[in-house]
Structure 1
Amino acid sequence: MSVKTITVVGAIIRRGDEVLTCRRRADKSAGGLWEFPGGKIEEGESAEAALSREIHEELGVSITVGALASRHTTPLEGRLIDLACYWAELDDAAPEQSTDHDLMAWRPLAELQGLEWSPADVPIINDIVRALPQQ
């Protein structure tokens, strides 16, 4: 029996020295846990196009997608989540609401490990924090 792989993308949206973190609504899978906003790649869609579309749908804002920050595959609830997170910049104003999240907060990169993250996001967070310049 093969395990289903779900390919998703996330945006690490930067504003100065901070990034946008989003907490999943309680009625969603991984409710109450933090994540980078994003979603599933649709058939025939590039990762960058999917990320731009998902951010527009979820947050109502436009972004410019940059370089790949980190990618990991995490076993979760009988399937594999292949998550690729990209650095991104807002094209205009910051989002004020989200269709999937009950809380959004700008946080310094060095403080990301202090949140309770969705399991698929944890290895991404670890990579980002490891890559930070040592103080």
Structure 2
Amino acid sequence: MTERIVVVGAALVDSGRLLAARRSAPPSLAGCWELPGGKVEAGERTEDALVRELREELGVDAEVLSRVPGEWPLRSPYVLHVHFARLREGSSSPAPLEDHDDLRWLASGEIWDVDWLDQDVPAVREVVELMGVRDGGVRG
């Protein structure tokens, strides 16, 4: 059996809005939106990986709050785990530093206005439900 590699994504929330990041690389994913995050390194806790990835990708200091129940398959052997997080007081505003070319804070009515990566849609649906956002027109 192939060992699974965990990728951690951030449901970064501020004032009821969710942060989405638009991929700039690799070319096959460019232009699609995702929850920011990245691969958990060997021996690293998922929470620590998320804090590190948000610092590297967005230049922010974030606090991990709670894990979103479930996991979502990505390209084998990767699986996605998502955690709610928030910016720590005094953190700079997020900026697209690595692998992204744009960021958007999405209010409840805007969640599905971006073209989410297909692999992120089920996780975003779960995040939206836990945020208490009811869209009615959830795609995917």
Q: How does 1:52-131 map to 2 (within 5 A)?
A: 52-76=51-75, 79-91=76-88, 92-131=91-130
Q: Cα gap change, 1:58/1:67 in structure 2, threshold over 3 Å: closer, same or farther?
A: same
TM-score by length of 2: 0.82
**Could you tell me how far 1:80 is from its partner in structure 2?**
4.0
Gaps of 5+ in 1: none
Amino acid at match of 2:85: A
Aligned mates of 2:3, 2:28 — CA distance in 1? 17
1:59-111 deviation line (CA, Å, top 9, x unaligned): 111100010124323253xx143111111111112113321101101001443
2 CA distance for matches of 1:98 and 1:130?
Answer: 29
Q: Which residue of 2 aligns with 1:15?
A: 14
Structure 2 gaps, min length 5: 136-140
SS in 2 for 1:123: helix
- Report the equivalent of 2:138: none
Amino-acid identity (%): 34
Aligned mates of 1:24, 1:134 — CA distance in 2:
26
